[in-house]
């Protein structure tokens, strides 16, 4: 799952992960980790998700990281906002009132660059990464956010039945990555209607991670 894999997906418009509405688990649970209007929410691997539209509409500020420039151009266009675009280290920084998106590899996003983070919303980000990248990703997220609380959405299913992404991430794996920094609560668990990609029984889990 290198950069080319994701750029090709965007180029071929093979973006089944892009949901047509804000995620119900976000809508149902987010206020538990960030109640304050104006809180700044980090959305890693953000694509052009409508979850960002929802967060902005609730009065949150958003900072995102996304590899694909065209996805970011479309995000701002669909928000109806003209971004300022500037170089930022080796990345590009798209910004407008209440929103900053860094275009490039999340591993090049530093704590200094990302700035204040009050909460993290991870949907289709941890589960988009293969097992060998998840340890590095989770440690990096904790480092650049200073251990901000998270709402993290995962899938659980029999990985033998279907290759990822999205990958299955178990509760045990969650504890391995995040148990040292956070207390973990499985706040919600819902069957995926019709199965994952229409072919594999799965549950979608909403985890709330609060700093220890
Ligand atoms: C499965 S999609 C999810 C997008 C979004 N979270 C959503 O819910 O629609 C994963 C996204 O992560 C981006 N991505 C993959 N690897 C990345 C990396 N190393 N750094 C930044 N973005 C990355 C891809 O381009 C893609 O848009």
**What secondary structure does DSSP assign to 43-74, as a single string?**
EET-TT-HHHHHHHHTT-EEEEEES-HHHHHH
Closest atom of ligand 1 to CA, residue 122: 6
Instruction: Return per-residue pLDDT of the chain as tens, 212 residues.
Output: 699 999 999 999 999 999 999 999 999 999 999 878 899 999 999 999 999 999 999 999 999 999 999 999 999 999 999 999 999 989 999 999 999 999 999 999 999 999 999 999 999 999 999 999 999 999 999 999 999 999 999 999 999 999 999 999 999 999 999 999 999 999 999 999 989 988 899 999 999 999 98
SS3 content of the chain, % helix, strand, coil (to 5): 35, 30, 40
- Which pTM was predicted? 0.98
Q: Does ligand 1 have an atom closer than 6 angstroms to the CB of 123?
A: yes
Q: Does ligand 1 have an atom closer than 6 angstroms to the CB of 49?
A: yes
What does the pLDDT read at residue 209? 98
Q: Of 71, 75, 54, which is closest to residue 151 (Cα–Cα)?
A: 54
Q: Does ligand 1 have an atom closer than 6 angstroms to the CB of 142?
A: no
What does the pLDDT read at residue 188? 97
The Cα 97–Cα 36 span in angstroms is 18
What does the pLDDT read at residue 212? 87
Binding residues, as ranges, are 10, 45, 66, 123
What does the pLDDT read at residue 198? 86
Determine phi and psi for 195, rounding to 5 degrees.
Answer: 85, 165
Q: Does ligand 1 have an atom closer than 6 angstroms to the CB of 23?
A: no
Ligand 1 pocket mutation, candidates 66, 94, 103, 140, criterion most atoms within 8 A of CB? 66
For 167, which DSSP code? P
Q: How far is the CA of 47 from the centre of ligand 1 (A)?
A: 5
What does the pLDDT read at residue 199? 85
Q: Give the chain's domains with CATH numbers.
A: 3-11+23-211 (3.40.50.150)
What does the pLDDT read at residue 35? 75
Q: How far is the CA of 5 from the centre of ligand 1 (A)?
A: 11
Supply the Cα-derived Rg of the chain in whole angstroms.
Answer: 16
What does the pLDDT read at residue 89? 86
Q: How far is the CA of 183 from the centre of ligand 1 (A)?
A: 26
């Amino acid at each position: 799952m290198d950069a080319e894999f994701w750029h090709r997906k965007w180029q071929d418009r093979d973006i089944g992960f892009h949901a047509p509405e804000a995620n119900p688990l976000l809508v149902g649970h987010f206020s538990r980790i960030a109640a304050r209007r104006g809180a700044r929410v980090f959305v890693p691997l953000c694509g052009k998700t409508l979850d960002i539209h929802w967060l902005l509409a609730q009065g949150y500020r958003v900072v995102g990281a996304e590899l694909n420039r065209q996805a970011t151009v479309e995000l701002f266009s669909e928000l109806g906002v003209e971004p300022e675009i500037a170089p930022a280290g080796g990345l590009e920084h798209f910004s407008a009132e209440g929103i900053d998106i860094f275009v490039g590899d999340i591993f090049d996003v530093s704590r200094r660059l990302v700035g204040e983070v009050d909460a993290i919303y991870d949907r289709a980000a941890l589960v988009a990464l293969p097992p060998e990248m998840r340890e590095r990703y989770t440690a990096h997220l904790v480092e650049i956010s200073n251990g901000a609380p998270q709402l993290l959405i995962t899938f659980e299913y029999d990985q033998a039945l279907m290759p990822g992404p999205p990958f299955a991430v178990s509760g045990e794996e969650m504890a391995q990555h995040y148990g040292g920094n956070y207390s973990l609560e499985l706040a919600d668990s819902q069957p995926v209607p019709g199965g994952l990609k229409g072919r594999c029984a799965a549950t979608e889990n909403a985890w709330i991670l609060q700093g220890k």
